[in-house]
Amino acid sequence: QALNDEICEICEVWTAESLFPCRVCSRVYHDGCLRRMGYLQNDSAVEVTETAHTETGWSCYYCDNLNLLLTEEEMYSLMETLKLCKIIPETCLTLDDFLHYKHLVHKQQFERPMAEEQEERAALQFSALDPDKKGHIEWHDFLSHESIQLLQKLRPQNALLRLLTAKERERARAAFLALDQDSDGFIGEGECHRARHAWFRKHQKETPSCSVSISHVGPMSESSPVSSGSGKSQEKTPPAPEREEARPVDWPGFLRENVAYILAARPNSAALHLQPPA
């Protein structure tokens, strides 16, 4: 079983008072130390103390920031793309900004415009990044999303698997074993795909109607820009590789299929940084 460190990451002191464990890595922290270093703003202090010891858990400042997973070169290439697409760092993005950006990136990579279906996926991703339906997405959520997208694009799957921590592997293993009810080492492909939604453990705000719940599968909500009017996004079957067949999935396959989503679920933010296909 993955063990937590015994001393606080910041002051390196052991004390009997309770330490807050990170849900991703083995680091533990004093809340006083987090506050002293400026990692806790006034109201997030309460959030940490409330969630760190719950099922939801809390990610420390290393694990909360997906951007830190990028190498310097990858970061440079991301910043170049943002500059080309006239995205101003540290600002919020509206749906139009986001779609415009996605169009440009797509054109750059594939030298043809985005298909209607891809645009719908992008719009769904936007609403997943805007759980409170403010009509814009925060810069750090956008950056986390783009970071995980870039990792998916640039790194081989084995390299992504190496990013998983002992805790993440343990949780994935438990999820796989729970799905493998007859213990033959295989689960259905559908179950494997549905699991991609299950990694996101988000802190529930007091306004339950607009937060994305962990178990939420399918179109984001009535008010999301693409699902309004018709059930279009649900009728559309995903592209060929996503089609469900009865192909059994073993443990390594399960981990490969889910690794990007497990990583994307690290940040504490209520946003969903990588929306799994419905």
Site residues for Zn ion per CB under 5 A: 8, 10-11, 22, 24-25, 27, 30, 33, 60, 62-63
Q: Which residues pair with 136 in a beta bridge?
A: 94
For CA atoms 27, 32, 34, 36, give the dihedral sign: negative
| Residue from 273, 122, 147 nearest 212 by CA | 273
Q: Which two tokens mark 35?
A: 């506050």
Amino acid at 58: W
For residue 79, the minimal CB distance to Zn ion (Å) is 25
Q: Which is nearer to Zn ion, 60 or 255 (CB)?
A: 60
Q: Which is nearer to Zn ion, 167 or 193 (CB)?
A: 167
Q: Which is nearer to Zn ion, 30 or 121 (CB)?
A: 30
Q: Which is nearer to Zn ion, 169 or 232 (CB)?
A: 169
For residue 2, the minimal CB distance to Zn ion (Å) is 12
For residue 270, the minimal CB distance to Zn ion (Å) is 18
Quote the CA–CA distance of 169 and 185 in Å, as a whole number.
Answer: 16
Cβ contact 4:28 at 8 Å: yes
Three-state secondary structure call for residue 258: helix
Q: Which is nearer to Zn ion, 57 or 276 (CB)?
A: 57
Q: Is 234 left (phi over 0), alpha (psi -120 to 50) or beta?
A: alpha
Quote the CA–CA distance of 10 and 76 in Å, as a whole number.
Answer: 29
For residue 213, the minimal CB distance to Zn ion (Å) is 24
For residue 17, the minimal CB distance to Zn ion (Å) is 9
